Structure 1
Amino acid sequence: MANLNDIIQWCDQTLKTQEFKDYAPNGLQIEGKQDVKKFLCAVTASQDTIDACIAEGADVLLVHHGYFWKGEPYPITGMRGERIKKLIQHDISLIAYHLPLDAHPSLGNNAAIAELLKLENIQPLDFNDKHPIGNVATLKSPISVSEFQTLLKNNINPNTLHLSAQREMIQRIGYCTGAAQDFISKASEQLCDAYISGEVSERTFYEAKELNVHYFACGHHATERYGVQRLGKAIAEQFGITYHYFEQDNPV
Structure 2
Amino acid sequence: MTDFKTLLQAFDQLLQPERFKDYGPNGLQVEGKPSVGKLVSGVTASRELIDAAIEVKADAIFVHHGLFWRGQDGRVVGWMKERLQRLLAHNINLYAYHLPLDAHPELGNNAQLGKVLGLQAHAWCGDQNLVSVGHSLNPQGFQNAEALASHVQSVLGRHITCVAPTAKPIQRIAWCSGGAQSYFEAAIAEGVDAFITGEISEPQAHIAKETGVAFLACGHHATERYGAPAVAAHVAAELGLSHQFIDIHNPA
TM-score, shorter chain, exceeding 0.5? yes
Q: Which moved more, 1:159-168 or 1:97-106?
A: 159-168
Q: Which moved more, 1:189-198 or 1:152-161?
A: 152-161
Asked if the contact 2:146–2:162 (Cα under 8 Å) also holds between the matched residues in 1, the reply is no
User: RMSD of the alignment, in Å?
Assistant: 1.3
Asked if the contact 2:146–2:164 (Cα under 8 Å) also holds between the matched residues in 1, the reply is no
Per the alignment, residue 212 of structure 2 pairs with 212
Q: Deviations over 1:137-183 (max 9, x none)?
A: 01233312222112101212431111112242111011111001121
* Identity over aligned pairs, percent: 39
1:235 aligns with 2:232: no
Q: Which runs of 5+ in 1 are unaligned?
A: none
Deviation at 1:86, TM superposition (A): 1.0
Find the aligned partners of 2:79 and 2:55 in 1 and give their Cα distance.
Answer: 20
1:1-252 equivalences under 5 Å are 1-126=1-126, 129=128, 132-139=129-136, 140-144=139-143, 145-252=145-252
Which amino acid in 1 is paired with 2:181?
A: Q
Find the aligned partners of 1:66 and 1:143 in 2 and give their Cα distance.
Answer: 37
Q: Which runs of 5+ in 2 are unaligned?
A: none
Which amino acid in 2 is paired with 1:43?
A: V
What's the TM-score, normalizing by structure 2? 0.95
Q: How many residues end up aligned between the 2 structures?
A: 249
Indicate the SS of the match to 1:141. Answer: coil
Find the aligned partners of 1:167 and 1:53 in 2 and give their Cα distance.
Answer: 46
Which amino acid in 2 is paired with 1:176?
A: C
Asked if the contact 2:121–2:132 (Cα under 8 Å) also holds between the matched residues in 1, the reply is no
Asked if the contact 1:125–1:174 (Cα under 8 Å) also holds between the matched residues in 2, the reply is no
Moved over 3 A (4+): none
Q: Which moved more, 1:201-210 or 1:35-44?
A: 201-210
Deviation at 1:121, TM superposition (A): 4.7
Asked if the contact 1:167–1:212 (Cα under 8 Å) also holds between the matched residues in 2, the reply is no
Find the aligned partners of 2:67 and 2:248 in 1 and give their Cα distance.
Answer: 18
Deviation at 1:59, TM superposition (A): 0.5
